[in-house]
Amino acid sequence: MSRSGYYVWRCRPPSKRARENAMLTEETAQIHARTRGAYGARRIHIELQAGGTQVGKKRVARLMKALVYAA
């Protein structure tokens, strides 16, 4: 990779998918905290869909797993 290409990549704003993942991660953490850790990926997925957010169960599970390892 060229040096100039690296610096262009580094200064690039986050992608749409990355922004959506950040938003979903925040919503997931709020639901998880509100239920005092009782809800897993399946129930959180159902709550998100009930709120109008189109998201897959596996994506919710992946984001929750990343939250556990980030903490």
Task: Flag whether pLDDT at 71 surpasses 70.
Answer: no
Residue indicated by tokens 């129930």? 43
Average pLDDT over residues 44-59: 96
Task: Flag whether pLDDT at 22 surpasses 80.
Answer: yes
Average pLDDT over residues 24-35: 95
- Whether 27 and 48 have beta carbons less than 8 Å apart is answered as yes
pTM recorded for the entire structure: 0.81
Average pLDDT over residues 39-60: 96
Q: For the chain, which residues make up each domain, given as ranges?
A: 16-70
Q: pLDDT exceeding 90 applies to what percent of the chain?
A: 90
Average pLDDT, the chain: 94
